[in-house]
Chains A and B, each alone.
Chain A
Protein backbone atom coordinates (compact mmCIF):
# COMPACT_ATOMS: atom_id res chain seq x y z
CA UNK A 1 0.00 0.00 0.00
CA UNK A 2 0.89 3.67 -0.06
CA UNK A 3 3.45 4.80 2.48
CA UNK A 4 5.62 7.69 3.58
CA UNK A 5 9.05 7.20 5.11
CA UNK A 6 10.85 9.95 6.95
CA UNK A 7 14.12 10.02 8.78
CA UNK A 8 14.23 8.89 12.37
CA UNK A 9 14.75 11.48 15.03
CA UNK A 10 15.48 13.14 17.20
CA UNK A 11 17.51 15.67 15.29
CA UNK A 12 19.48 18.07 17.47
CA UNK A 13 20.98 21.20 15.94
CA UNK A 14 22.54 24.41 17.12
CA UNK A 15 20.77 27.67 16.34
CA UNK A 16 21.50 28.95 12.80
CA UNK A 17 22.45 25.48 11.56
CA UNK A 18 21.14 24.08 8.26
CA UNK A 19 18.26 21.62 8.51
CA UNK A 20 17.34 18.73 6.27
CA UNK A 21 14.66 16.19 7.13
CA UNK A 22 14.36 13.47 4.52
CA UNK A 23 11.03 12.17 3.27
CA UNK A 24 10.24 9.63 0.56
CA UNK A 25 6.83 8.44 -0.60
CA UNK A 26 5.30 5.68 -2.68
CA UNK A 27 4.58 6.89 -6.17
CA UNK A 28 1.13 5.48 -6.93
CA UNK A 29 -1.16 7.97 -8.61
CA UNK A 30 -0.54 11.72 -8.50
CA UNK A 31 -0.37 12.58 -4.82
CA UNK A 32 -0.16 15.97 -3.23
CA UNK A 33 2.64 16.22 -0.66
CA UNK A 34 2.66 18.05 2.65
CA UNK A 35 4.80 18.94 5.62
CA UNK A 36 3.06 19.51 8.94
CA UNK A 37 4.53 20.78 12.21
CA UNK A 38 3.33 19.94 15.70
CA UNK A 39 4.30 21.98 18.75
CA UNK A 40 3.93 20.45 22.22
CA UNK A 41 0.34 20.03 23.30
CA UNK A 42 -1.08 21.20 19.98
CA UNK A 43 -2.55 19.74 16.81
CA UNK A 44 -0.75 19.52 13.52
CA UNK A 45 -0.37 22.69 11.48
CA UNK A 46 0.25 22.77 7.76
CA UNK A 47 3.76 24.06 7.10
CA UNK A 48 3.91 23.78 3.32
CA UNK A 49 2.57 21.78 0.40
CA UNK A 50 3.20 20.86 -3.23
CA UNK A 51 0.60 19.45 -5.58
CA UNK A 52 2.61 18.36 -8.64
CA UNK A 53 6.08 17.38 -9.74
CA UNK A 54 8.77 20.10 -9.49
CA UNK A 55 6.55 22.33 -7.35
CA UNK A 56 8.38 23.98 -4.46
CA UNK A 57 6.46 24.63 -1.28
CA UNK A 58 7.78 27.27 1.09
CA UNK A 59 6.77 28.94 4.33
CA UNK A 60 8.55 30.60 7.27
CA UNK A 61 11.96 29.90 5.72
CA UNK A 62 11.22 26.20 5.19
CA UNK A 63 11.26 24.73 1.68
CA UNK A 64 10.55 21.37 0.05
CA UNK A 65 10.54 20.38 -3.62
CA UNK A 66 8.32 17.66 -5.10
CA UNK A 67 10.81 15.32 -6.80
CA UNK A 68 8.98 12.72 -8.83
CA UNK A 69 12.14 11.07 -10.17
CA UNK A 70 13.40 10.29 -6.66
CA UNK A 71 9.94 10.14 -4.98
CA UNK A 72 11.21 12.56 -2.37
CA UNK A 73 9.99 15.69 -0.60
CA UNK A 74 12.82 16.68 1.74
CA UNK A 75 12.29 19.56 4.15
CA UNK A 76 15.06 22.18 4.38
CA UNK A 77 15.74 25.39 6.24
CA UNK A 78 18.87 27.44 5.94
CA UNK A 79 19.08 28.71 9.51
CA UNK A 80 17.03 27.14 12.28
CA UNK A 81 15.87 28.94 15.42
CA UNK A 82 15.07 27.65 18.88
CA UNK A 83 11.41 28.33 18.10
CA UNK A 84 11.56 25.71 15.31
CA UNK A 85 11.83 22.96 17.90
CA UNK A 86 8.85 20.71 17.20
CA UNK A 87 7.84 17.44 15.55
CA UNK A 88 7.64 17.48 11.75
CA UNK A 89 5.44 15.15 9.73
CA UNK A 90 5.63 14.41 6.03
CA UNK A 91 2.39 13.28 4.36
CA UNK A 92 0.98 12.34 0.98
CA UNK A 93 -2.61 12.31 -0.21
CA UNK A 94 -4.51 9.21 -1.26
CA UNK A 95 -7.92 8.83 -2.85
CA UNK A 96 -9.78 10.01 0.24
CA UNK A 97 -7.14 9.47 2.84
CA UNK A 98 -3.77 10.88 3.80
CA UNK A 99 -0.71 8.86 4.72
CA UNK A 100 1.68 10.25 7.33
CA UNK A 101 5.25 9.48 8.22
CA UNK A 102 6.01 8.70 11.84
CA UNK A 103 7.35 12.18 12.53
CA UNK A 104 10.81 13.62 13.19
CA UNK A 105 11.48 15.48 16.40
CA UNK A 106 13.71 18.54 15.99
CA UNK A 107 15.45 20.15 18.93
CA UNK A 108 17.32 23.40 18.38
CA UNK A 109 19.80 24.51 21.03
CA UNK A 110 20.63 28.15 21.69
Chain B
Protein backbone atom coordinates (compact mmCIF):
# COMPACT_ATOMS: atom_id res chain seq x y z
CA UNK B 1 0.00 0.00 0.00
CA UNK B 2 1.13 3.53 -0.78
CA UNK B 3 2.24 5.44 2.29
CA UNK B 4 -0.47 8.06 2.65
CA UNK B 5 -1.92 9.14 5.96
CA UNK B 6 -4.58 11.69 6.73
CA UNK B 7 -5.23 13.45 10.01
CA UNK B 8 -7.52 13.74 11.74
CA UNK B 9 -9.63 10.80 10.60
CA UNK B 10 -12.78 12.23 12.13
CA UNK B 11 -13.64 15.75 13.19
CA UNK B 12 -16.72 17.55 14.39
CA UNK B 13 -16.56 21.33 14.39
CA UNK B 14 -18.88 24.29 14.63
CA UNK B 15 -19.88 26.65 11.86
CA UNK B 16 -17.47 29.54 11.50
CA UNK B 17 -14.42 27.83 12.97
CA UNK B 18 -11.23 27.24 10.99
CA UNK B 19 -10.26 23.65 10.23
CA UNK B 20 -7.05 22.21 8.81
CA UNK B 21 -6.75 18.72 7.40
CA UNK B 22 -3.36 17.17 6.82
CA UNK B 23 -2.18 14.73 4.19
CA UNK B 24 1.24 13.12 4.58
CA UNK B 25 2.99 10.86 2.06
CA UNK B 26 6.16 8.82 2.25
CA UNK B 27 6.33 8.06 -1.50
CA UNK B 28 8.05 11.28 -2.63
CA UNK B 29 5.39 11.69 -5.35
CA UNK B 30 5.21 15.04 -7.06
CA UNK B 31 1.44 15.46 -7.34
CA UNK B 32 -1.01 15.68 -4.46
CA UNK B 33 -4.77 16.21 -4.53
CA UNK B 34 -7.66 16.97 -2.24
CA UNK B 35 -11.12 15.65 -3.08
CA UNK B 36 -14.44 15.67 -1.34
CA UNK B 37 -16.92 12.83 -1.65
CA UNK B 38 -20.63 13.40 -1.27
CA UNK B 39 -23.59 11.14 -2.08
CA UNK B 40 -24.69 11.60 -5.68
CA UNK B 41 -21.61 13.62 -6.63
CA UNK B 42 -18.84 11.07 -6.65
CA UNK B 43 -15.40 12.61 -6.16
CA UNK B 44 -14.92 16.30 -6.73
CA UNK B 45 -11.50 17.92 -6.91
CA UNK B 46 -10.92 20.80 -4.48
CA UNK B 47 -7.27 21.71 -5.06
CA UNK B 48 -4.16 20.01 -6.30
CA UNK B 49 -0.41 20.53 -6.14
CA UNK B 50 2.17 19.83 -8.82
CA UNK B 51 5.18 20.60 -6.66
CA UNK B 52 6.31 22.36 -3.50
CA UNK B 53 4.52 25.71 -3.31
CA UNK B 54 2.81 25.02 -6.65
CA UNK B 55 -0.94 24.63 -6.29
CA UNK B 56 -4.04 25.16 -8.38
CA UNK B 57 -7.79 25.15 -8.00
CA UNK B 58 -10.12 22.31 -8.77
CA UNK B 59 -13.82 22.38 -9.54
CA UNK B 60 -15.05 23.10 -5.98
CA UNK B 61 -12.34 25.33 -4.48
CA UNK B 62 -14.52 28.10 -3.00
CA UNK B 63 -14.11 28.24 0.78
CA UNK B 64 -10.93 26.15 0.76
CA UNK B 65 -7.23 26.98 0.66
CA UNK B 66 -4.16 24.73 0.51
CA UNK B 67 -0.48 24.85 1.22
CA UNK B 68 2.45 22.65 0.37
CA UNK B 69 5.74 23.68 1.96
CA UNK B 70 7.29 20.21 1.77
CA UNK B 71 7.00 17.40 -0.75
CA UNK B 72 5.43 15.09 1.80
CA UNK B 73 2.73 17.35 3.27
CA UNK B 74 -0.35 18.91 1.71
CA UNK B 75 -2.67 20.88 3.97
CA UNK B 76 -6.30 21.73 3.30
CA UNK B 77 -7.78 24.63 5.26
CA UNK B 78 -11.39 25.62 5.67
CA UNK B 79 -11.04 29.23 6.79
CA UNK B 80 -14.56 29.43 8.21
CA UNK B 81 -16.35 26.10 8.09
CA UNK B 82 -19.96 25.92 6.87
CA UNK B 83 -22.47 23.09 7.05
CA UNK B 84 -22.17 22.61 3.28
CA UNK B 85 -18.57 21.52 3.85
CA UNK B 86 -19.69 18.48 5.83
CA UNK B 87 -18.21 15.69 3.76
CA UNK B 88 -15.60 12.98 3.51
CA UNK B 89 -12.27 14.37 2.34
CA UNK B 90 -9.72 12.27 0.51
CA UNK B 91 -6.12 13.01 -0.27
CA UNK B 92 -4.44 11.37 -3.25
CA UNK B 93 -0.95 11.28 -4.75
CA UNK B 94 0.43 10.42 -8.14
CA UNK B 95 3.53 10.63 -10.26
CA UNK B 96 3.69 11.51 -13.94
CA UNK B 97 6.21 10.25 -16.42
CA UNK B 98 8.22 12.78 -18.36
CA UNK B 99 6.30 11.78 -21.49
CA UNK B 100 3.14 13.08 -19.84
CA UNK B 101 1.35 9.72 -19.64
CA UNK B 102 -0.37 9.62 -16.29
CA UNK B 103 0.27 7.13 -13.56
CA UNK B 104 -2.49 5.99 -11.24
CA UNK B 105 -3.47 7.84 -8.12
CA UNK B 106 -3.19 6.41 -4.63
CA UNK B 107 -5.70 7.48 -2.04
CA UNK B 108 -5.54 8.06 1.67
CA UNK B 109 -8.10 6.60 4.10
CA UNK B 110 -10.19 9.76 4.26
CA UNK B 111 -11.27 12.31 6.87
CA UNK B 112 -14.91 12.51 7.87
CA UNK B 113 -15.72 16.13 8.71
CA UNK B 114 -18.98 17.22 10.27
CA UNK B 115 -19.79 20.91 10.59
CA UNK B 116 -22.61 21.59 13.02
Contact = CB atoms under 8 A, between A and B. Distances in A.
B107 A43 contact: yes
Nearest to B45: A97
Contact of A42 (B50, B101, B105, B110): B110
B90 interface: yes
A44 interface: yes
B109 A46 contact: no
Contacts of A103: 42
Contacts of A45: 107
Interface residues of A, number: 24
B62 interface: no
B104 to A, nearest CB: 5
Interface string A34-66: 101000001111100101000000000000000
Interface of A: 30-32, 34, 36, 42-46, 49, 51, 89, 91, 93-98, 100-103
